[in-house]
Amino acid sequence: MILLSWNCQGLGNPTAVRVLADLIRTKRPRVVFLIETFVDRNRMEQVRVKTGYDNVFTVDAVGHRRGLAMLWSNSINLQVTAYCDNFIDTTLSLDVGAPVWRFTGYYGYPDKARRRESWQMLRNLAAQSTMPWVVMGDYNDLMHQTEKRGRAPHPPWCINGFCDAVADCGLQDLPFTGYQYTWVRSRGAVNMVEEKLDRILVSEDWNTMFDGAEACSLTCTYSDHMPLLLTPVATVNTMRQKRFLFDNMWLREDRCREVVAQSWERTVGRDVLVRIECCSRDV
């Protein structure tokens, strides 16, 4: 099971669709969240056919701006629960009988004047459900000053506000491998700027459920944003025998010394480790 999130910067020309189709054919994600499609649902239906998905949900672009889309296959159970110009909220399960969790494709306002609206929107989403949650997308925000290269530093109030919103939502940043600066402006020029605008946030219970999850960024020259891939993997924990640990509180029990003495006397002549194990069972 793989999820892909990408600010594709427009799907209005055949080249863009070919790039997306090649990306999907190579990585084979079962869910794809697209940002800034710049197209309507009719065009996204054509993209669905071209890429071979069974389902598509579209938030239409406004003129030649914005636009969101979610593509997914019938091999998973996905239900769209809410949407607007900035997000598509879903619940999904990977297989029949598998746990149900929440996946939100997210797009934060790019204008600094609307940053606080973005943070409040994230908080409002968090209040809607207590399900295990993963949020992927383009946040148009940074969590650290080191997540930017070039020009002036990122405004501290933006960093602090975004970090506070993430903490208020009970989310944590999921690390990914690959290049960390997912957005670039003026590539190759002396005034080039790079920022980590795209990321994956997860709740603690989702992180526990998929404690082997892997994520990475992908190189893609068509857009100024890099796609992100997420593979939710639950590690198989083998049962390990618990070690015996002595608790000092037992000394307050009247019969503790008696039980230890009887056990130790009963196992005279045996290996010391065997005697300790027998004593732990008696206690």
Q: Are 126 and 102 in contact (CB under 8 A)?
A: no
Helix (H) or strand (E) holding 256: helix 256-266
Q: Each residue of 156-173: b (16+ CB within 10 Å) or e? A: eebbebbbebbeebebee
Q: Is pLDDT of 242 > 60?
A: no
Q: Is pLDDT of 248 > 80?
A: no
Domain ranges for the chain, please list them: 3-231, 248-282
**pLDDT tens digits along 117-135:** 999 999 999 999 999 999 9
Per CATH, the number for 3-231 is 3.60.10.10
Higher-confidence residue of 277 and 232: namely 232
Other Cβ atoms within 10 Å of 229 Cβ, number? 22
Residue 277 is predicted with a pLDDT of: 67
Residue 199 is predicted with a pLDDT of: 98
Helix (H) or strand (E) holding 259: helix 256-266
Q: Is pLDDT of 52 > 70?
A: yes
Q: Can you tell me which residue has the tokens 């949650």?
A: 133
3-state secondary structure of 107: strand
Euclidean distance between CA atoms 191 and 175, whole angstroms: 28
C-alpha distances out from residue 103 to 15, 33, 78, 88, 205, Å: 29, 10, 9, 9, 13
Higher-confidence residue of 143 and 63: namely 143
Q: Whole-model pTM?
A: 0.81
Other Cβ atoms within 10 Å of 283 Cβ, number? 15
Q: Are 53 and 21 in contact (CB under 8 A)?
A: no
**pLDDT tens digits along 171-228:** 999 999 999 999 998 776 778 899 999 999 999 999 999 999 999 999 887 889 999 9
Q: Is pLDDT of 238 > 50?
A: no
Higher-confidence residue of 250 and 11: namely 11
Summary mean pLDDT of the chain: 88
**% of the chain beyond a pLDDT of 90:** 70
As to burial, measured by CB atoms within 10 angstroms (0-12 exposed, 13-18 middle, 19+ buried), residue 280 is middle
**Side chain identity at 27, as an amino acid letter?**
K
For range 150-164, the mean pLDDT = 92
Residue 158 is predicted with a pLDDT of: 95
